[in-house]
Amino acid sequence: MSVWTPALFALFLWWFSTGAILWVVKSADRSGLTARKRAVIWGLPFLGFGCLGFWLSLQDSSVFGAYLGFVAALAIWGWIELAFLTGIITGPNHHELPKGIAEWERFIRAWGTLAYHEMLLVATLIAMVLIDWNLGAENKFATWTFAVLFFARLSAKLNLFFGVPKINIDFLPQALAHLPSHFRHRVMNWFFPVSITALTFAAACWLERLYAAETAGAVTGFALLTAITVLALFEHWMMVLPIPDERLWRWMIPTDTPKPHQTKNDVLPTAKIKGGHHGL
């Protein structure tokens, strides 16, 4: 079977789901905190679908099972990202970074901005791994997909902390306007080559598994994993290359025009740094 079909499917789902989440978050931003909470609640059916799809895919080694596991992982991931971007599940620190503090304190404060979100991601990944392990799942593509997204996003966050040339916050919601103060502009950091090497190696491993696969379900699953890992690698390169990747979603994002009934507690000051978004 052709590997291009699942690869293009992964590309489209990555682009569309990222844009859809940004649209929901930006739309809710214009209506305040209540709308942001409502968006997270309305997104719960997607979380439910993701959990159900993950469960149903575990013993399904067919092509459909591979797609179902992949989509389920993205649905679970997407809801958690929605909860983060709306400012509902973030961390205890909601303040901008003071100037002139020690590096260790900078790290602790940065961790505090997203601690609850990170702990939820870790707990979810551990739960998926344990369920896979205990049930002896034939189809682990949902867990592997979530793991790729988790480690790629963790790598991206560390690179933003250590410093990269291009920090794109064009789509950063008002609820997270304090985050850019924890980023650092730098020509290069020591961790970026490590990230690129690790993601390239992971993509090569998935590609090797793809060509060694003996069933259509395995071919589909490893093609999806290869594609999503290559997209994560692309997102990392966008932090150092002067490519306007924000144009991929600009046309579908509403403008930041607050409604008349918004209060000061609903709208936080928007950061003024120009740069690029990192996808789902």
Residue 190 is given by DSSP the state T
Count Cα neighbours of 45 within 13 Å in the Cβ-side half-sphere.
3
Query: What long-range pairs does 95-99 form, CB within 8 A, spacing at least 24?
Result: 95/178, 96/178, 96/181, 97/178, 97/181, 97/182
Task: Per residue of the chain (280 residues), give pLDDT as tens.
Answer: 689 999 999 999 999 999 999 999 989 988 899 999 999 999 999 999 999 999 999 999 999 999 999 999 999 999 999 999 999 999 999 999 999 999 999 999 999 999 999 999 999 999 999 999 999 999 999 999 999 999 999 999 999 999 999 988 777 888 899 999 999 999 999 999 999 999 999 999 999 999 999 999 999 999 999 999 999 999 999 999 987 777 777 766 666 554 444 443 443 333 333 333 444 5
Residue-level pLDDT at 260 = 46
Render 60-120 in DSSP notation, one character per residue: --SHHHHHHHHHHHHHHHHHHHHHHHTTSSS-S--SPPPTT--HHHHHHHHHHHHHHHHHH
CA triple 217-278-12, angle to 5 deg: 40
b/e code 50-69 from CB counts within 10 Å (16+ = b):
bbebbebbbebbebebbbbb
In angstroms, what CA-CA distances link 176 with 43, 94, 173, 262?
19, 8, 6, 17
Residue 137 is given by DSSP the state -
Task: Note if the pTM is more than 0.75.
Answer: yes
**262 vs 175: CA distance, rounded Å:** 13
Using CB atoms within 10 Å of the CB of residue 224, give its burial: 0 to 12 exposed, 13 to 18 middle, 19+ buried: buried
Q: If you search the block for the tokens 């730098």, which residue do you land on?
A: 186
**154 vs 160: CA distance, rounded Å:** 10
Among positive and negative, which fits the CA dihedral 238, 242, 243, 246?
positive
In angstroms, what CA-CA distances link 124 with 94, 119, 127, 131?
24, 8, 5, 11
Count Cα neighbours of 220 within 13 Å in the Cβ-side half-sphere.
22
Residue-level pLDDT at 30 = 87
Residue-level pLDDT at 168 = 81
Helix (H, G, I), strand (E, B) or coil at 178: coil
**Which residue, among 97, 88, 74, 99, has the nearest Cα to 20 in the 3D structure?**
74
Cβ within 8 Å of residue 138, ≥6 positions away: 58, 59, 60, 61
Q: If you search the block for the tokens 């970074």, which residue do you land on?
A: 97
Residue-level pLDDT at 255 = 61
